[in-house]
């Protein structure tokens, strides 16, 4: 009910909605309407109440809860269902659990805080309360496990685009899955899947965006990390950024499903790449290769040329870019 | 406590264990020992009680519960922890849940009955109460998702070997994951994984063995199915077969982890293959290819030669063998 009242207020935009009208439309008493209005006010919504005119939404706080996101999103499938948590171990772990129980494609898990946020390869991910966007999306593409890496490229392209559009500030993409500003990491993506050998059950894409941390907020070993606000010097609405991410991601994802190609995403990943043209250090089967990053293929692999001139495709893995993140020029 | 008493009886083999001795060793009263003996008798264990001599195990029923399996297994890691259920939706689903919650490598889930047993590609698997072995094993190999198909080959080799040793009756292996007797399917293997792009979180190998079904027990669409007892005409102890499967599987699995090669398993898969040398129909990306199955590679892929003479490797997929399962010679 509260959600319906919030929707009515939002739909009205600048004007007033009368209590009578809401009470009739929703089939509840005017007292019930008033009770929900009060509850919304307690949650931070500024609502003006003028007799004979009704109610008007003056300020919409930057909430990330299901009602707030589901009502405002401009994507159609992504975020249609949102699970919101004050605190969670890891949004990916929660999303995998929900997916195993049957949650539909596009379901979003979002949390104010992760107690045990996960990075790639079992690493941890700093996810301080309210300081970032910690969300996971459930996907169910009819593709083979081998093609799961494509989803990471789509996600990187979408999230990079969304952040750049939303902030008006340049981003870079470090293949396969980091988004940078001023060459510092502001976002990581963790793709996980549940699969049979030839069929994916579901994919969970975890997206962590550092939004409002100050420079000193990151631990010492994360010297290469930054936040959008520390880079841009501007305040960011997490909700509008989430909405932008869902929109861009959905667009590129469905383009892939319809065309079978991630061409559009790769075009974006190439355009903003800090990896291409650079010297890279690749760790493959515990062996270190120094090479030049030449291209990102249509399948999302990194094409490298090693020191003997040999070309090699890398599906996914540990790639350090010279001059970035402690891989200093030698 | 009951488990300790059962262990003492089993350890004694042919002889008697005195109630006094058990009561002292286990630090409980003789009345408590007697209570557990009675409980074991109710569960089907035939235990002789003779005053001044003590207790003797006369008959050990073919139970599959954790106590029975954990005590008798000859494997060291596989089956060290067993989750036993009278009835479960699917042992693979349960095993994935337990693995996500941290269950260790070698953990076994076994059930008398599956209400929604799963085959490959979302198909169902008939798992009537008590009529077969419905089990799943949790593995945590440090390999890439791409290499998960190797685990299926190891499982097929191990389960095939175990069934043949245990029954003394010839088996055949249909690549990648069916075990046959008299060219009828008596066992299927379903490998599932949870993974990042470059790292496996865990693998669950589901093994379904038809043990005691009669010919008419299978539904019409499973005309190619049979059970071990319907083929061999002999009674099979499910427990001894489970123990044999765990032993063979553990051996071949650890050999792979230590050597990095599945050579031993592939040798077995080749030896018993009904696929190699046959005409096969392969469904790949909704296209049907008629080809000859030439070899199984060291990575576990099927090497086929199509009608134009071209060689192709198949990682996993729909392969029908001419003369088997309704792919009739034309």
In this predicted structure, the answer to whether residue B191 has a pLDDT above a threshold of 60 is yes
Tokens of B89: 């939706």
Task: Give the β-pairing of A279-284 and A287-296.
Answer: antiparallel
- Domains belonging to chain A, first-starting first, are 2-59 (1.10.10.10), 66-271 (3.30.930.10), 279-321 (2.30.30.100)
Tell if the CB–CB gap between B197 and A315 is shorter than 8 Å. yes
In this predicted structure, the answer to whether residue A321 has a pLDDT above a threshold of 90 is no
- Report d(CA A187, CA A183) in Å as an integer: 11
- Report d(CA A80, CA A138) in Å as an integer: 11
Task: Give the β-pairing of A82-85 and A108-111.
Answer: parallel
Task: Give the β-pairing of B311-314 and B200-210.
Answer: unpaired
Average pLDDT over residues A169-198: 94
Those residues with Cβ within 8 angstroms of residue A330's Cβ, 6 or more apart along the chain or in another chain: none
Q: Which among B22, B29, B24, B30 is positioned nearest to B3, based on CA atoms?
A: B22
- Going by the DSSP 8-state scheme, the letter that residue A102 receives in this structure is T
In this predicted structure, the answer to whether residue B2 has a pLDDT above a threshold of 60 is yes
* The residue to which tokens 């249909």 are assigned: B174
Looking at CA atoms only, how far is residue A131 from chain B in angstroms? Answer: 26
Give the model's confidence band at B220: pLDDT under 50 very low, under 70 low, under 90 confident, else very high. confident
Q: What is the pLDDT of residues A188-230, one digit of tens each?
A: 999 999 999 889 999 999 999 999 999 888 887 777 899 999 9
In this predicted structure, the answer to whether residue B267 has a pLDDT above a threshold of 60 is yes
Q: What is the pLDDT of residue B315?
A: 81
Tell if the CB–CB gap between A194 and B96 is shorter than 8 Å. yes
- Report d(CA B327, CA B139) in Å as an integer: 34
In this predicted structure, the answer to whether residue A120 has a pLDDT above a threshold of 60 is yes
Evaluate whether A249 touches A159 at the Cβ level (below 8 Å). yes
Q: Which among B134, B151, B133 is positioned nearest to B142, based on CA atoms?
A: B151
Evaluate whether A231 touches A181 at the Cβ level (below 8 Å). yes
> What are the start-end ranges of the E strands in chain B?
46-50, 54-59, 82-85, 108-111, 132-139, 172-174, 178-181, 184-196, 200-210, 279-284, 287-296, 302-306, 311-314, 318-321
Tell if the CB–CB gap between A197 and B149 is shorter than 8 Å. yes
- Report d(CA B168, CA B219) in Å as an integer: 28
Q: Higher model confidence: residue A314 or residue B182?
A: B182
> What are the start-end ranges of the E strands in B182-325?
184-196, 200-210, 279-284, 287-296, 302-306, 311-314, 318-321
Those residues with Cβ within 8 angstroms of residue B274's Cβ, 6 or more apart along the chain or in another chain: B172, B173, B174, B180, B183, B321, B324
Residues in A touching B195 (Cβ below 8 Å): 145, 192-193, 195
Residues in A touching B191 (Cβ below 8 Å): 196-197
In the stretch 178-217 of chain A, residues with CB closer than 8 A to chain B read: 190-199, 201
Evaluate whether A76 touches A31 at the Cβ level (below 8 Å). no
Q: What is the pLDDT of residue A74?
A: 86
Q: What is the pLDDT of residue B250?
A: 98
Tell if the CB–CB gap between A96 and B317 is shorter than 8 Å. no
- Report d(CA B323, CA B330) in Å as an integer: 9
Q: What is the pLDDT of residues B241-255, one digit of tens each?
A: 999 999 999 999 999
In this predicted structure, the answer to whether residue A18 has a pLDDT above a threshold of 60 is yes
Task: Give the β-pairing of B46-50 and B184-196.
Answer: unpaired
Task: Give the β-pairing of B318-321 and B279-284.
Answer: antiparallel
Q: Which among A247, A316, A258, A296 is positioned nearest to A141, based on CA atoms?
A: A258
In this predicted structure, the answer to whether residue A319 has a pLDDT above a threshold of 90 is no
For testing the chain B interface, which of A196, A200, A300, A315 should be mutated: the one with the most B CBs within 10 Å?
Answer: A196
Q: What is the pLDDT of residues A254-302, one digit of tens each?
A: 999 999 999 999 999 999 999 999 999 988 767 888 999 999 999 999 9
Of B93, B190, B198, the CB nearest to A317: B198
Interface contact B102, partner A, CB < 8 A: no
**Confidence (pTM):** 0.86
- Report d(CA A284, CA A296) in Å as an integer: 18
Tokens of A117: 């946020």
Q: Higher model confidence: residue B171 or residue B327?
A: B171
Backbone φ and ψ of A32, nearest 5°: -65, -40
Q: What is the pLDDT of residue B235?
A: 93
User: Which region holds residue A164: left if phi is over 0, alpha if psi is between -120 and 50, else beta?
Assistant: alpha
Residue of A nearest to B192 (CA): A196
Q: Which among A200, A206, A226 is positioned nearest to A120, based on CA atoms?
A: A206
Q: Tell me if the bond preceding B325 is cis, omega within 30° of 0.
A: no
In this predicted structure, the answer to whether residue A162 has a pLDDT above a threshold of 90 is yes
Tokens of A228: 């959008």
In this predicted structure, the answer to whether residue A49 has a pLDDT above a threshold of 60 is yes
Q: What is the pLDDT of residue A328?
A: 60
Tokens of A212: 């409002």
Strand-pair partners of B189: B207
- CA distances to A6, A28, A240, B86 from A2, rounded to whole Å, are 6, 12, 21, 45
Those residues with Cβ within 8 angstroms of residue A137's Cβ, 6 or more apart along the chain or in another chain: A78, A95, A106, A107, A108, A109, A204, A205, A207, A246, A249
Residue of A nearest to B284 (CA): A198
In this predicted structure, the answer to whether residue B328 has a pLDDT above a threshold of 80 is no
In this predicted structure, the answer to whether residue B329 has a pLDDT above a threshold of 70 is no
- Report d(CA B252, CA B265) in Å as an integer: 7
């Amino acid at each position: 009910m509260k959600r319906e009242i919030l929707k009515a207020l939002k739909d009205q935009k600048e004007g007033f909605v009368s209590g009578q009208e809401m009470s009739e439309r929703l089939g509840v008493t005017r007292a019930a309407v008033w009770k929900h209005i009060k509850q919304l006010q307690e949650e931070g919504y500024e609502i003006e109440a003028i007799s004979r005119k009704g109610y008007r939404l003056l300020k919409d706080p930057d909430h990330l809860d299901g009602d707030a996101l589901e009502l405002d999103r401009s994507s159609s499938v992504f975020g249609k269902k949102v699970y919101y948590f004050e605190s969670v171990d890891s949004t990916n772990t929660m999303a995998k659990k929900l997916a195993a129980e049957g949650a539909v494609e596009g379901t979003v898990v979002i949390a104010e805080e992760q107690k045990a946020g996960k990075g790639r390869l079992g690493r941890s991910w700093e996810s301080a309360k309210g300081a970032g966007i910690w969300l996971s999306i459930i996907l169910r593409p009819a593709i083979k496990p081998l093609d799961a890496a494509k989803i990471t490229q789509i996600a990187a392209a979408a999230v990079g685009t969304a952040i750049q559009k939303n902030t008006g500030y340049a981003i870079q993409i470090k293949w396969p899955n980091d988004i940078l500003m001023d060459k510092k990491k502001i976002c990581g993506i963790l793709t996980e899947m549940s699969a049979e050998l030839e069929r994916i059950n579901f994919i969970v894409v975890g997206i962590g965006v550092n939004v409002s941390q100050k420079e000193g907020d990151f631990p010492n070993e994360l010297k290469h990390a930054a936040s959008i606000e520390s880079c841009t010097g501007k305040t960011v609405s997490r909700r509008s950024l989430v909405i932008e991410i869902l929109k861009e991601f959905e667009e590129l994802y469905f383009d892939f499903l319809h065309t079978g190609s991630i061409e559009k995403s790769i075009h974006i990943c190439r355009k903003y790449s800090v990896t291409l043209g650079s010297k890279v250090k690749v760790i493959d089967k515990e062996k270190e290769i120094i090479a030049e990053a030449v291209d990102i293929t249509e399948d999302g692999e990194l094409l490298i040329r090693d020191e003997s001139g040999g070309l090699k495709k890398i599906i996914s893995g540990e790639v350090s870019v010279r001059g970035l993140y402690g891989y200093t020029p030698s």
